[in-house]
Amino acid sequence: MEKRTELYRGKAKTVYTTDDPERLILHFRNDTSAFDGEKVEQLERKGMINNKFNNFIMAKLEAAGIATQTDKVLSETETLVKRLDMIPVECVVRNYAAGSLVRRLGVTEGQELTPATFELFLKDDALHDPMINESHAVVFGWATAEQLAQMKTLTGRVNEVLKQLFDDAGMLLVDFKLEFGVDANGTIVLGDEFSPDGCRLWDKETRKKLDKDRFRQGLGGVVEAYEEVAQRLGVSL
């Protein structure tokens, strides 16, 4: 597989085209950012950890019958993925109150949310990924009502699988975001990544934070926390 031109450069990943028009390469970098890029650092080994972590999670979801973009691992920091027409709407599930939900609504951090909440955000860095509703997504052409319904259903299934996975490893899946795309057959497929960069994970007993909040809040030990999560799950690093 030949890596060709850079297609997109995000905060922590770079996407490249290949000699196969139906395949792309995701390169997981060591870059770590918060607050819309205001805080940026390089954290050694982070790209490798996130690449292997993401492939582990996507394999678990595939085994549960959830179609993903992931194809195969190419190297320590690169993964071959299927090309998708990405939908610019992020799906966010919250099992416990944390982050922006606490700031917006003044609720107590750590409060269990039953049932889990489901939110939509427009993926737009310039607008700081604003929260939207289904009507916005449909009327502005970001997604159809049918696509949104499928995305919500798939997000719920992902939550069921991963909540149990992390619970078995002594962790709480506090919240997470997912992105979806449409493949050549018009099927909704889970895309992008699932790593501690895009979710919150706490130790079940101590509530110790094991995700990117350690970077956001200046707690230190970011890479060490990511490694701990991977080791608890049995990810081979």
Using an 8 Å Cβ cutoff, are 54 and 28 in contact?
yes
Per-domain residue ranges of the chain? 3-82, 85-221
| Residue 167: predicted pLDDT | 98
Q: What is the CATH number of domain 85-221?
A: 3.30.470.20
Strands 85-86 and 31-34: unpaired
Q: Which fold has domain 3-82?
A: Phosphorylase Kinase; domain 1 (3.30.200)
pLDDT digits (tens, 9 = 90+) for 89-121: 999 999 999 999 999 999 999 999 999 999 999
Q: What is the pLDDT of residues 138-169, one digit of tens each?
A: 999 999 999 999 999 999 999 999 999 999 99
State residue 44's pLDDT score. Answer: 97
- pTM of the predicted structure, to 2 decimals: 0.96
